[in-house]
Each structure stands twice: as structure tokens, then as C-alpha cells.
Structure 1
Amino acid sequence: MSAATVLTAAPARTLATTTSFGADDHPVLDLITGRARTGAYGPDPASLRIALAFGTTQAVRHSGRARGYRNEVLSLRLGAAVGSCAVEPGDLPADTVTDCVGATVGDLLDHPHTAVRVAALDAYLGHCLPHAPAYGARRFGLPAGSSLVKSRVRAAAVVGLLPLAAVRRVLVVGVVNSLLEQLRSHEVGYLPCDLKGGTTEWDEPVHTDALAHLDDCDAILASGMTLGNGTLDPLLAHARATGKPLVLFAQTGSAVLPRLLGDGVTAVSAEPYPFFWLDGGPSLLHLYGGAAR
């Protein structure tokens, strides 16, 4: 990777497309939630209460970059675990955080807003199945430094989960320029897809319909935000049907998505709160599947 190439760690937004899945369809989320309710992972979600809920709003514009971006995340704490779901800025009603406090996890798994359901399930699974070697996680340390420095190191870990020697072109859903930089350094092609379109740091067009390009790739690298709006499901269905590698980099649903390993998902980079962009000190990723590092 060239030290002279300075990239913005763009937000991991999700694809916009017409699919067979309706706006309210979340098969993967419903599947894992159903398992949680039947005791597959631990105690009854109705027996556990959320004591703390909070939102995080971030804005950044790196020196030398023409554009900045914003992130907004809902987080719920259950014991030592924090479950999170990123949303588009302004998408959550103002009273959402207050409504979550004191509610049972079971109640929140029925919440009308998908972000609340994802954050509640993430908190529950992080509580029952914490990121640890006993549950298949490998720790990967990010060094202290700027958000850009940490983004680049994270990108190297995430891209390393792909079987790079066997991959020619990757569908990247949720454009993060540091990830694209890593793929370029390995001379691997990519198709960048993101809800808001635009261009990459190399003036490449960003596609807004990821599903239209599934047949043009031989691996998929997708943001955990796809869980939050249901767009993970068609990507997962394609990976299951074709056997293509599907690697997820997840701040949203970091404890949820490892439950899909071996069921269409080949590897997950799980990054629970606090995220790398919140703290200049050392922090951790938890890697599941992929090549041992």
C-alpha cells in the first residue's frame, strides 16, 4: 500500500435495489431472532432488561479530502455487551433511546423499527456469546493513531479474510475507500456499490444497484449495515446458491453475523462498540473464519 495515497474511510452505506424482498422483509434477522427466543443461544430474551441506551453521531472530513461523511449509530447495553445498529442520519425518532431503556430484550425484538431489533439482538448475542476464542473469534489489534491510520489497518485485516489468490473481482457493498485501496494493492478487481452513488477516490463510478452486478463478481465483501435494512438477504441467497465467498465487516450486528458462518457467510470482521473512529488508542477487531492470521 502506498503511503502517499491518503484515503477517506467512507461510511458503510448499503445498496439500493429492486429485489424480491419487500421493505419489511428481514428473513435472516427473523431466523436468528426466532432461535434466540427458543433458547438456542442462552436465556429467554424476555428475562433480560436493557439498562442503558445511547446514540453516537460522528462527522469527519480528513485533511486533503474533498468530501466528509456522517455516521449515526444506536447502541444498547446488556451487562458487558453493547449491541449496535447504524442508521442513516436522522432516521431514528428522537425518543427511540428513551423508549429502549428499561425494556426487556424480548420487547425490543418486537420493536417496529428494525434498527432497534438489530441492536437488541446484537446486545443479547454479545452477552450470551461474547467475542472470544471459545466461540470462534480471533483477536486482531488495531494500533493507536488517527482514524485514517486505524481504518487502513482494519482494511488490511478485513481484505485478508478473502481467499485473494482465487478472487478476480469483488462486489463491495458499502464503499470504504481504505478497503478498495487494499484490494488494489493485491491487484484484485472490484465493483463498488453504495446507496448514495458518487465516485471512489480514483474517480470510479459507485453503482447503486448491487444485485445487478452479482453475476459480475466471484466474491462479495459487504458492510454489516446490510443486516439493518434487509439487503443482506439477497446477497446471502446468492452466496448460498453459488458458493461464492461472502465476507462481512460488521459494526452493525457484530455478534449477530457470526451466527451465519457456514450458512452462506465465509468470514466476519466483528467490531463491537467502541468503534475504531471513536478512540485514538489501541482497539480490537474479532475475526471469524477466513485464513488464520
Structure 2
Amino acid sequence: MSTLAATAPPIWAADPAPAGTLPTSHGITTLPVLDLITGRARTGAYGPDPAALRIALAFSTVQAVRHGGRARGYRNEVLSLRLGAAVGSCAVEPGELPADTVTDCVGASVADLLDHPCGAVRVAALDAYLGHCLPHAPAYGARRYGLPSGSSLTKSRVRASAVVGLLPLAAVRRVLVVGVVNSLLEQLRSHEVGYLPCDLKGGHTEWDEPVHTDALAHLGDCDAILASGMTLGNGTLDPLLAHARATGKPLVLFAQTGSSILPRLLGDGVTGVSAEPYPFFWLDGGPSILHLYGGAAR
């Protein structure tokens, strides 16, 4: 368990449960993760008052890629907000952000953005705030993992090795992969670990395997979960987290979205996090860094 996980307030909420809480099979109720951590931020649990901090820079990044030798490509769009040295990010579906979102965020206080009607803004603002207050460092349980310079595919494969290494591979038979990244599936295949690929977009993997669109329907068919940070941004993380808490199954998150938020869940259902704040590996051919939390020591 990381230093922070040992000292942070517990994620469980006391009964009676307020509106919007999620039941677990333990009979304990929890607030949705984003609401709970946002509430803590507002009360100073992590550092300064969000009302006293303002976002100086907001931007969006749009990417399309098809790696050499791969049959399929994909697109990304990410909203990012800068607070001091920290950049908070949330991925969205391409074209989903309203045109004035970026300009709306500039100069606004973090507290105001935590109430913004756009969910991606709320996630990016909380991510920037926590990155500012609790930077990725050994004092908070982070381990630096260097990615080498090289092509996007080279870096993707090295990142995948680090992420999959957070799973207890010797004890895992089948992994539910939520948010399909072919390099991660390739790593699981190399370890002869089975997987169930799930993504809201559906489609097929690089090996022409069907991608399931309902991850929750397959929770009973896995003994570990590997999920993208995008599950935080699109609201699908909470049932995965509830299942991991109830069953004790390993839950590892690979996060560009919410990379400073998700380490706060270590020890409360999450067993490992690969945190990758902006700039992401696919933006630069030079060396870059992941921050690993929990999982197996590397």
C-alpha cells in the first residue's frame, strides 16, 4: 500500500446513504468516486481551498493514429487544464466538447470548475488540483518508470509491459480489459493470460476477437480487471470498483484521464495504477515517464 493510501480518509461513506450513492454487496454504501473525492477537495483534505486557485491555461489535444503493422487505428481527444506545474486531463469522444469549453475554463477558479456542467471539465479540474497538491512522487507512493524514445508503437509496447506488470500475473487466469488497447492485449497474450476485451465502441481487436460493449455483464467471468482511466470520465468506474471491493479481485487502472485522481483509490478496491499525466507517450518521440502505484514492485 502506498504512503497516501495508508493515511488518506477511507473511501467508504457512512449510512444513511445520501441520494446518488451506490450499494455494495458488503451492505456499505459509497458515494460515486468523483463526488466523494471532490467533496474531500472542497473541505481541504488534500491541500488549499480550490476557490483560491485559478486555471491559467486550458487546451484540447486531438490525435489519430494507426501504428505500422496494425490493421486498425483510433482517435483521441483530451481536455487539459493547467494549474501551476500540474496538468489535469480528461479524454472525451472526438467532437464531444462544446466549442467554447476551453475558453470558459481559462481564469476560472478550481472550485467553480468542479461545478461545471460538463463532466470532462469537472474531472480535468479535480485532476489538475490533485496533481498540484499531491504530485507524483515517492512520498505519495509513486515509482517512476521510464519509457524510451522511439516510435509511438515502441513506446506503447513498453508502457503496456509496465501496466500489465501491475497485475499478479501468476495468479490470474482471465482479465476483464475495459478500454481496449491492443498493446495491452498483446502483453497479456505474451504471458499466456486470457482476457475479455470490452469497450463502449465495440468492434474487434487486432486479432479479430469481438469487443464486448457491456463490461458489467462479464464481471463474473474474470478474476482481475484492467481498466482505462476513461471509465472515470464516462461514469463507468463505480460498478467496476464496487465489484472489486466486494470480491477482492485485483483492479489495475491505466490512467491518462484522472492520473492524479485514481491513485487516491489505492487500498479501497484499486490494487495498482499506472498514472500518466500530460504530455502523454504518444505526443513525443523522446523519453517519457509513467508513475506506478501499488501492484508488484518493479
Residue 181 (structure 1) aligned with residue 200 (structure 2): no
Which amino acid counterpart does residue 290 of structure 1 have in structure 2?
G
CA–CA distance in 1 between the matches of 2:197 and 2:180? 6
Query: Per-residue CA shift, 1:224-280, capped at 9, x if unaligned?
Result: 000001100000000000000000000000000000000000000000000000000
Q: Is 2:238 aligned against 1:230?
A: no
Q: Does 1:71 align with 2:93?
A: no
Q: What does residue 264 of structure 1 align with? A: 269
Q: Percent identity between the aligned chains?
A: 92
Please name the residue that 1:292 is paired with: 297
Matching of residue 101 in structure 1 with residue 141 in structure 2:
no
List gaps (5 residues or longer) in structure 2: 1-20, 23-30
Contact 2:148 2:286 in 1 (8 A): yes
Aligned residue for 2:278, secondary structure, equals coil
Q: Counterparts of 1:219 and 1:192 in 2: how far apart (Å)?
A: 12
Query: Aligned-pair distance for 1:90?
Result: 0.7
Q: TM-score normalised to the size of structure 2?
A: 0.89
Residue-pair matches, total:
271
Quote the Cα distance in structure 2 between the aligned partners of 1:209 and 1:69: 20
Q: 1:28 and 1:92 mapped to 2: Cα distance? A: 22
Partner of 1:199: 204
Counterpart amino acid of 2:244? Answer: A
Runs of 4+ in 1 over 3 A off after TM superposition: none
Structure 1: distance between partners of 2:47 and 2:106: 21
Partner of 2:152: 147
Distance 1:67 1:150 in 2: 18
Query: Does residue 225 of structure 2 align to residue 210 of structure 1?
Result: no
- Aligned 1:52-91 pairs, distance under 5 A: 52-91=57-96
Could you tell me which residue of structure 1 aligns to residue 140 of structure 2? 135
Query: In the TM superposition, what whole-angstrom CA distance separates every residue of 1:183-220 from its partner, at most 9, and x where no partner exists?
Result: 01111000000111111111111100000000000000
Give the aligned CA root-mean-square deviation in angstroms: 1.3
Q: Which residue in 1 is equivalent to 2:56?
A: 51
Residue 59 of structure 2 aligns to a residue whose secondary structure is strand
What pairs up with 1:161-176 in 2 under 5 angstroms?
Answer: 161-176=166-181
User: What TM-score does the superposition give when structure 1 sets the normalisation length?
Assistant: 0.91
Q: Within the alignment, does 1:283 sit opposite 2:293 as a pair?
A: no
Contact between 2:70 and 2:206, CA under 8 Å: does it hold in 1? no
Cα deviation, 1:156-203, whole Å, max 9, x if unaligned, reads 000000001110000000000000010011110000001111111111
Q: Which amino acid aligns with 1:263?
A: D
Query: 5+ residue gaps in structure 1?
Result: 1-19
Which of 14, 36, 39 lines up with 1:34 in the alignment?
A: 39
Indicate the SS of the match to 1:83.
Answer: strand
1:67 CA drift (Å):
2.6
What is the SS of the residue equivalent to 2:166? coil
Q: Partners of 1:62 and 1:261 in 2: how far apart?
A: 33
